[in-house]
Each structure stands twice: as C-alpha cells, then as structure tokens.
Structure 1
C-alpha cells in the first residue's frame, strides 16, 4: 500500500481540482460556440462522451509530448529519440529530421536482446529468408512451422512444465486465454493490481470476479473462505472452479509476488493458481527461469504459467505453460490459437536463440553474464535512488523501479527535463495508475554499463532536485 505524504496529497488534489474546473469551463464555452455555429450533429449521441474523453482532451493533451515519442534505432542501452514540435498546443505533434541520442531507461529490454546480437541476429535473418516475415495463417491452418513446434518444446522445458502453447501477442495471451479457462459458474480471485490484460480477460469470461488486497495472502485467504462458504450468487451452489490470478513482478510497482504464501493458501482451499510472468521470466532467477526459481517454488505447484517474449527475449508474443491436457484443451478452444495469425517465424527464431544463449547452449557463458549483470545493475540503481531520497517502489532483484511523482505538474516537468539532458524515461499516469499515484517507471537492462547507470543517476538526481520529487532526506555521502 502506497502512503502519500500528507502535504503532497493535498497539493496533488488541489492541482487536479484546478485542472478539472478549468477543463469544464472550457467545455461549457465549447458547447456554447457549437450551439451558436450549428456545428453539432442533430439527433446523434456524442460518440466520445465520458470521463476518459474529458481526461484526454483537458489533461492528457497538455503533456502529450511526453508520450508516444518515436525512436529511430533499436531499443538498446542508448536510443535515438526523434525530435517533435507542435503549433496547436499538442493536438498535432510534427516530427523533425533530427534525433537526440538518449540513455534508454524506459524499454523492457532486460537482457539486451532487443539490439543486434552476435548469436541471435544471424539466425533471425536466416529464418526470415527461409520462412518469410509472416505465415499469413492461423496455427490450426497453415501457420504452424517447425520453428513454432520447437519453440513450444523449448518454453515448456525452460519453465519446467510438461507442455506449452505460444501466441502472437502477449496481451492477447491473457485476454483470450482466460475466457477459455473459466466461464459462468466459476470464480476468479484477482490481485487488485493485476495487469489490464488479465482484467479484460476476466471480464470477458463471464465468471464471477472478486479482488484481494495487493500481494496480501492473508486477505486472499479471507476472500477464498468467504466465497467458498457463500457459493455462487443467488443459487449458492458450489463454484465450478476457482482460479487465483497473480503476477510474478507487478509491472507498475516492480514488486515481487509473495508466491510461496499464495500457493500455500490456494492448496489449502483447492484453488488453481495462474501466474503472469511477463516481467519476471528471463529477468530474475539464477538461470533466468523467473519468480519460481528466485523464490524457490516448484513450477509443478503453479497450475498455469503465463509469460511473454516481449521483454527479456527481445521479440513478440506470449505463452501458456501447464499440463499436457490443459495445453491440448487450449489449442482446441482458444480463439487466439484458432483464428489469429501465428507468431512471425523470425520472431520465433529470436526467442529460440535467446533461450539458447540464456541456457549457455550457444557455447558461451554470455547468458549467465547477462543475468548477473541485470541483477547487479538493478540492485545498484535501486540502492542509489533510495540514497538520493526518492520514493522508489518495488523489491531488490526487480529490474522495474517506479519513482513516485504524484503531482500532475511534475509528470511533464520530470520527463521533459530528463529528455533535455539526454535521458529517456517513461512517465506513467492515469489510466495506467490511479489518478493520484503518477510515477516515472525506470527499467534497467543488462546492456547498461556502469557509466550508463552513473549518467542516469546524475541526471535523475538533478531533475529530482529541480522538480521537487525527493520526498525523503538524502543519505550523507561516505568520505
């Protein structure tokens, strides 16, 4: 639970209050002008009416230049950020031909595979020549190549499960799989800070949804006990099945899941566990096998393991790993497998090659070096941010470290000042976070050198002082 400093909470609420009041005043004048000019569509309901539309027009557009920044290079340790300008208060952002070389602290390139790699890249190019960029077909038609079959075998072996199935998009892996796993008469118990893909998948399933306090096994047990006692709504019949959804590393908090305790609760009440390892697989654990390896959990104790290839493996797509019966069932019932175009063969080859590097099957120890490097980089960067006085969320070993900003005026100020000093960061605000909990999310990579990290820390410290987001006293420097 994030506790907002009292004064910060007041100033943040006051700032949002001003923005909302002036936004509604501008909307009132807009309605009057539309009425006078007969510029409205008679008989039509507004197609974009709602809080989200108001938020985008009156708040987001003011700081739109801090988001969607185009890059013109691979998302490695340093990137080329294309410069833009606007002549209409950010309604339209025009690209220039200039680009700034910036330290990349925003991409999920945890192991550095997103850039050219001496082992992966030649094999990806060869697969492109052999298989083409797309299969132009779903997996059940003509979209399964020898590479896809090999990838599913490799993933299952890597995560310690009997079988796996792969999909072309990480987000869809959750949103399309969950409705195939559970439906009406089932119960989903979801961590309050689970990713939007799981939330949408749960909503689309038709199952009853209950939420437990973030990463709190004791509250999970309370919810489970209460729901099992009550049964289904109205009929009070026993639930057909119960699945508990959690993440390995929470993407907006950088926090590790309390997986051993959660599994113990699920076993006690005979509930299935579903773990989303999008940000943890490949990034943590001695051999990169994710949160199960890091926390000493047997993968057999987790019923369904989900992960993506878009972070540590430098590719695209996602996977579900579980029992052979489960995977066979999903291959015959999940729309993302039956109807969606399969993963691009070069993307499949990228994942295969990256896994081989991580496991040392490329004949080198680069994989072990990368895993050691990201752990050292992450823990060093987190420690230094704490010493400077920033409020940093998350746990050690996690490559995600959100720095709390809170105030809406500090979101663009922090982002723009960092960009001026050639450091690219990603601010996150509503709807990605609750309205009052804006932050900038730092993502560390194994490709960052010590000099890169020192450069980032120096700039972030200066900008933190300028913007006023160091909410704790800095630790004195050792002589």
Structure 2
C-alpha cells in the first residue's frame, strides 16, 4: 500500500439491505419476545409470579411508575436479561488493552455484585481512534503540568467569571487544526449540538437532516422550532429533491418563504460505519445557497493524513462547511465538543447560544490533553508520531474489515472507516456474540433496539491506531468461531477490493 491515504473506491450506499427472510424472522422473534414480556408483566400484576419490579415493593411508594408500555416491557425484560453485555465497568484507561471488573448477577440482571476480580481484554469497544488514551507520555505529562499550574476547574460559567486563558488557548488550537477562522469549545459533546443548533435557525427556517443523524442533532433540530425534513441516509439526490420541493412552498409555521436552509450531516455515522459523501452535499449547498452543518464526532482525528477529518479526507475546502462541529472525547481522549467556522458565525454562537451562556469552561488538564494531541497530529512536536498513528489506523481499519468480509460476515460502512458494524440482525445473536467474545477476553459493542431498529441488531468494532496485527488476528480468529456458533455469516466469501489485497496489506505492515 504505497499510498496509504489514497481513498478506497467509494460506494455511494455502503449499507446492505437485510435478506428478506432474515428481516421477517427477526421481526417475528422480536414480537414473540415482546409478547413474553407482556405476559410476564400480567403474571406479576396478579401475583402469579414474583418480580423485583413489583408495585407492592415499599421502595416504590410515592414514586411514579417507570413503565410506559412498550419501552417499559422492553427494558424490564429483554434488555434486563441481556444487561450483562452492557455498561461493563473498566478500571484503567480504555486503550487497546483494558482491565474489566468481573461482576455477577443472581436475579437475572436486576442487580449485579462484584468480587473484586478483573480480567484483561482486547478492547474494540472504545472510540480511542488515535490511541491517545494513555496515562503516561507527552499528553499525560502536559495534563499533569496544567493541573499544577491552573488547577482542575474555574467553578463558574464563562459569562460569570469562569472564563480562563486555557479555554482561549484551546479554541485557538482547534481553529488552527481545522484551518478555520475561529472556534468555540463546550464542556459536553451532546450539548454542543443540542444547545447550539437553536442559535443558528428558528421556526422560519428549514432543516434537511440525514435519516441516521445522532440523537443530539435530532434534539437540537427539534428545539430550534424549524421545519425539519429527513432525507435518505447519505443520499444527496434525495436531499436535493426534498430541498427543491420545499423551496416551492411556504413555511408551514410562518406562512412565509424560508429565511434560512440548513443541511445537517455527520462525517462518519457511528452505527453504520458510513463516510459521508461530502463533495456532493457541498455542491448542493452552493447550488441552492444553503448552509451546511457537519458533525465530526467520529471523523475528526479518524480520517485524513493529519486527522483533520472528513473535509481533509475528501480534499475539500473548510470554508465550504459553515459549521464544523466535533467532539474532543474520542480521537483526542478528553471531553467536550467544539464548533468551528468563520469568525462571524462563531461570534454569533458565542453571543446567542445557551451553551455559550450557561456552559462551563473545559477543565485545564483536558485542554492540555487536546492541545498536545493536536500538536502531535500536525507534527508541531517535531516528530512523525501523528503521521504514524494516522497511517496505522487506516491500515487497521482496512485490514480488519476485509478479513471479516472474507470470513463471510455482512459488514456495513465504507472501507476507510474505523467503525466496523457487523450485522447479526437477531438481538439474541448480538447478546450471545458479546458474551462469547468476552469469554475469549475480547470486548466489543453490542447494539440493538432502540439504537437500531428491531430487525437490524449488530455488533460493532471500533478500531484504534494502538491495535496490533496480532491482536486483530486473535479477534478475527475468535469471531470466526462465534460466527459459526451463531449462524451470523450471511455472505459467501467475498474477495476484497482488487485495488488492495489482504496479502499486500500484510506485507505493508
């Protein structure tokens, strides 16, 4: 692989459709499970069987019921019985290898106990894309220095005396990294979307939102009061069709022409592994003179030769994206979110956003972590460590995905994405896969309803620059065994893209 950052051949719709009979059977299994949950709830209600959720429990007296039909049935029964694969407690930094506390349940998931023992696992469940999640090294040392110099927190909002020189430094680092005029940072990634989108559009505006946009984007769009139209996932043609039709109409909320149109996208979709077709959406933005909002929570750091995200990956001009949002939690192993763009846009957010007004500044050691990791990625530290990390992440992503396809698994998303969803469709297969992989000391992400639809459950692998080929080969070997056990190989062996064979990949490593 002489040119590691030459994009793999791009497939517009990289999400496969499920096989019809699999789709039918998974729905049937879900309905049977739901019926069992309703029956169990009825038996508990009439005291035929006992339950830890009994309404007669004195601890529930005076509290409103947490059950609300479907969600309550699902949470109390199917989810509870599979809760051992969720929220596993770790002790240590979430690197390529992580220690996980062992826990036990004696009441089918109502409560868990720990005996203090732990196990070391290969971690493919964390968003540690660039491998900066360490408690030693230059990032950790700079964070420690910042604690000594600035302390841990300012203890107030930025508008009430809580602003700090480190926050200004962080925003300058982010703007420089994104190659934009200005940036603003917030203490939480979710609220960066939810609290700031309402400052950009109002009830007289139109939002065009991708079908699979994150919950934080959905919430922000709804809070804005704007008219929202949802287009098919990563489908610029459908986006343009909806936009063209909408511009022929008046706003249903104001009875006037739309005052603003905002297209909302993500760089990498964390459940689909899809890399957005950014050039096509930029073309639509320019053609119809709309605004473009890009959420790079999973693509910043994870794409491009210096980790500058999907804009760098496609070779686009950052000025063509009006708002570049991202999180500092994943690739940079810190916490918080940011927005970057022109000085006029960022100044508007700084003055008008609830997030800017009520949000606290980011803790100084987190600022240090982000600033140092960005410095490493751009090579400003005088080393090529950042370039090596970017190359290794891309190699790992391509190699792991190709090997899964060769084994016969149905894998969603694009080849260069470090998020690799493997489809099992049945939630029971997801749970069993996670448990068996944990038996082999491997940690993966088990995903089902409501994060996906009832019939599209999946396991998800998150690749890191820290993963070695030996670790990935071990995971692949165990996944091959578990895939046969669960019957999760829906595809015949597929030859990888001829541009890059697995043998060439191994040689390049």
Report the TM range for the smaller structure's normalisation.
Answer: over 0.9
Cα distance in 1 for residues equivalent to 2:276 and 2:226: 24
| Counterpart for residue 286 of structure 2 | 267
Matched, 1:15 2:29: yes
Distance in 2 of aligned mates of 1:228 and 1:168: 37
Residue 377 of structure 1 pairs with residue 396 of structure 2 = yes
Q: Is the 8 A contact 2:227 2:253 kept in 1?
A: no
Q: Which residue of 2 aligns with 1:39?
A: 56
SS at match of 1:267: helix
Q: Does 2:226 match 1:207? A: yes
1:27 maps to 41
**For the residues of structure 2 that align with 1:264 and 1:476, how far apart are their CA atoms?**
34
Pair 1:178 & 2:192 matched: no
Higher mean C-alpha displacement, 140-149 vs 195-204: 140-149
| Distance of 2:28 and 2:324 partners within structure 1 | 43
Provide the rounded CA distance (Å) in 1 between the counterparts of 2:63 and 2:301.
51
What is the CA-CA distance between 1:236 and the residue it aligns to? 3.8
Deviation at 1:364, TM superposition (A): 1.1
Query: Which whole-Å CA distance do the structure 1 matches of 2:61 and 2:99 have between them?
Result: 47
The aligned counterpart of 1:218 is 237
Where in structure 2 are the equivalents of 1:243-392 lying within 5 Å? Answer: 243-392=262-411
Q: 1:47 to 1:380 in 2, by over 3 A?
A: closer
Name the structure 2 match of 1:167: 186
* Secondary structure of 1:409 counterpart: helix
**Aligned equivalent of 1:140:** 159
**SS state at 2:98 partner:** strand
Q: CA deviation at 1:195?
A: 0.5
**Shift in Å at residue 319 of structure 1?**
0.4
1:86-97 correspondence runs (5 A): 86-97=105-116
- Counterparts of 2:123 and 2:177 in 1: how far apart (Å)? 29
SS in 1 for 2:47: helix
1:5 to 12, 19, 24: 19
Contact 1:119–1:362 (CA<8 Å) still a contact in 2? no
Partner of 2:82: 63
For structure 2, list consecutive stretches of 5 or more residues without a partner in the other structure: 1-14, 497-501, 504-509
1:174–1:201 CA contact under 8 A, matched in 2: yes
Q: Cα distance, 1:38 vs. partner?
A: 8.6
Quote the offset at 1:257 in angstroms. 0.3
Deviations along 1:16-66, one digit per CA (max 9) or x if unpaired, are 1211111111111222239x9993999997453232222101210010000
Output aligned runs, 1:458-473, within 5 Å: 458-473=477-492
Q: Deviations along 1:132-176, whole A, 9 cap, x unmatched? A: 222211122232222211111111111121000000011111111
> How far off its partner does 1:185 sit?
0.9
Question: Aligned match of 2:438 in 385, 399, 419?
Answer: 419
Q: Are 2:100 and 1:81 aligned?
A: yes
Instruction: Name the CA distance, whole Å, in 1 between partners of 2:376 and 2:420.
Output: 26
| Residue of structure 2 in register with 1:230 after alignment | 249
1:15 touches 1:408 (CA, 8 Å); kept in 2?
Answer: no
Q: 1:74 to 1:46 in 2, by over 3 A?
A: closer
Secondary structure, counterpart of 1:114 in structure 2: coil
Distance 1:156 1:108 in 2: 23
Shift of 1:117: 4.3
Consecutive unaligned residues of structure 1, counting only runs of 5 or more, are none
Quote the RMSD (CA, aligned, Å): 2.1
2:6 counterpart residue number: none
1:402 and 2:421 matched: yes
Give the secondary structure class of the aligned counterpart of 1:448: coil
Which of 450, 458, 461 is matched with 2:469 structurally? 450
Deviations 1:442-470 (A, max 9, x none): 00000011111111111111111111111
**Offset of residue 475 of structure 1:** 5.1
1:390-435 CA distances to partner (integer Å, 9 max, x unpaired)? Answer: 1111112110000001112112100000000011001111111111
Question: d(CA) in 2 for partners of 1:241 and 1:475?
Answer: 46
Whole-angstrom CA distance in 2 between matches of 1:372 and 1:47: 48
Q: For residues 234 and 444 of structure 1, do their structure 2 counterparts lie closer, same or farther at Cα, with a shift above 3 Å needed?
A: closer
> CA separation in 1, counterparts of 2:90 and 2:411?
27
What is the aligned partner in structure 2 of residue 474 from structure 1? 493
CA distance in 1 between counterparts of 2:157 and 2:239 reads: 38
Instruction: Flag the 1:13–1:152 CA change in 2: closer, same or farther, 3 A.
Output: same
| C-alpha distance in structure 1 between counterparts of 2:31 and 2:66, whole Å | 26
TM-score by length of 2: 0.90
